[in-house]
């Protein structure tokens, strides 16, 4: 399976209601001192909000915000759902190529999806060199074994995406 881009993934009114929640104080962001790994990103950081983690956390009280997306992707099993918030940088800074799941977890055909909460000049890049621009209400879907990386942005205060890892 090649990456699939789905623009206008949610109805506009549903997306706007979700964006209002995600970009407000209803979401508590946790400081994370690295983006991929401490070794690769020693001078980079991000803020994260966990919605669901199968190992230890389970669903959080904010998971219901994502019901319109979950309804559309219809996962059989969820591994993790996490929002990432990167702050504006003077130049676009690409992060390290990675998989969202560890090798041991890739035994099953997991899917990764990235939902873009705001439009900015950051992007998602695959090892092949293919780039997907950050456009609000866009869903990017690809096999979890495909290595990818995100970037910061320079034209907005923040770049916010929600990562979904699940079985279909």
Using alpha carbons, list the distances in angstroms from residue 108 to 39, 48, 51, 55: 28, 26, 22, 16
Q: Is the pTM of this model over 0.95?
A: no
pLDDT of residue 161: 98
Percentage above 90 pLDDT, the chain = 73
pLDDT of residue 26: 86
For the chain, which domains are there?
A: 4-21+46-167 (2.60.120.620)
Kind plus residue range of the DSSP H or E element containing 139:
strand 138-143
Query: CB-based burial of residue 147 (10 Å sphere; 0-12 exposed, 13-18 middle, 19+ buried)?
Result: middle
50-86 pLDDT, tens digit each = 998 877 777 888 899 999 999 999 999 999 999 999 9
For the beta carbon of residue 108, count every other beta carbon within 10 angstroms.
Answer: 12
b/e burial code for range 7-33 (CB count within 10 A of at least 16 → b): eebbeeeebeebbeebeeeebeeeeee
| Rounded CA separation 148/136 (Å) | 19
125-160 pLDDT, tens digit each = 999 999 999 999 999 999 999 999 999 999 999 999
């Amino acid at each position: 399976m090649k990456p699939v881009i789905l623009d206008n993934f949610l109805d506009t009114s549903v997306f706007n209601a979700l964006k209002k929640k995600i970009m407000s104080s209803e979401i508590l962001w946790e400081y994370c001192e690295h983006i991929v790994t401490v070794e690769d990103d020693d001078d980079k950081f991000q803020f994260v909000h966990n919605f669901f983690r199968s190992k230890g956390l389970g669903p959080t009280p904010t998971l219901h915000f994502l019901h319109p997306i979950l309804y559309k992707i219809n996962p059989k099993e969820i591994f993790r759902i996490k929002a990432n918030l990167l702050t504006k940088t003077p130049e676009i800074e690409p992060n390290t190529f990675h998989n969202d799941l560890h090798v041991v977890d890739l035994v099953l055909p997991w899917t990764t999806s990235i939902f873009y909460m705001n439009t900015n000049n950051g992007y998602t890049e695959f090892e092949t060199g293919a780039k997907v621009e950050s456009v609000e209400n866009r869903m990017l879907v690809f096999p979890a074994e495909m290595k990818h990386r995100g970037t910061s942005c320079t034209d907005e205060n923040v770049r916010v995406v929600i990562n979904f890892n699940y079985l279909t």
